[in-house]
Amino acid sequence: MAAKTGFGASVLETVKTVVYALLIAGVFRTLFFQPFWIPSGSMKDTLLIGDFLFVNKMAYGYSYASCPSIRIPAAGIDISADDFCGIFRGDNNRLLGGEPERGDVVVFRHPVTGADFIKRVIGLPGDRVQVTNGVLSIDDTPVLLEPAGIFVEEMERQGPQGLLPRCENGAVAMGADCTKTRTTETLPNGVSHDILNIGTQSSDNTGVFNVPEGYYFFMGDNRDNSTDSRVPQNAGGVGFVPYEDIVGRADRIMFSSAGRSMLAFWTWRGDRFFKAIE
């Protein structure tokens, strides 16, 4: 049989190249790193809306949640990790599993909705977690808190969703300074990070959460603007997160844009490129 020549051979080679590239990208994303954009302000000021990072999937090993999710609402595409690897869900184990450490910033799948969340690990299996007057306690011992000044951002719409920040200094005009009190919190294992305060609300006082074996307790650093483990799943929160729902650890911000689009180069935050996440 004669070999294909001319236009047909060119098209075939192009198709093969695209298929190989997609396969390589799929394997890379499944086994090693997953891209993640920060869509909300729940982790300020550690992570800002518009930060772009890669999630390290090798840090904790692999479960069904390691399979990629593809969500493009504008195109009607909603393919979750369950669609690819749901057959492996339910045993709450991981292949080559590693344990998250307290203070790690982690991407996980919501146990009910399957949406990707990014929060900080606060409670490990067996811990007793409680918040009293805005102060976190672990195993009945309050964490160390130290003043860290004021976090200031401009009152403007942020990210593709055009979200407005919440301010401790009340309702402010567009373009004015929106401020929040910043405090450095040190967890029992010595990991320190900043948290923000907006005001007094119900999540500043909770009951005691006894973290079950095989589960983790997560909180956002922007404590008054975070849907996290303080609210149970049946009330619209995150609740306890199973080990198998963890996707990976966020280690470094690769790129950051303060604008509505990453193409708006004048809004790029050059000081956040390749910044380590602490």
Q: How far apart are CA 27 and CA 31, in angstroms?
A: 6
Q: How far apart are CA 192 and CA 187, in angstroms?
A: 6
Q: What is the CA radius of gyration of the chain?
A: 21
Q: Which residues contact 163 (CB under 8 A, 6 or more apart)?
A: 40, 41, 49, 157
Q: How far apart are CA 98 and CA 65, in angstroms?
A: 14
Tokens of 89: 């869900």
Which residues are identified as catalytic?
A: 42, 119
- CA nearest 131: which of 228, 238, 9, 252? 228
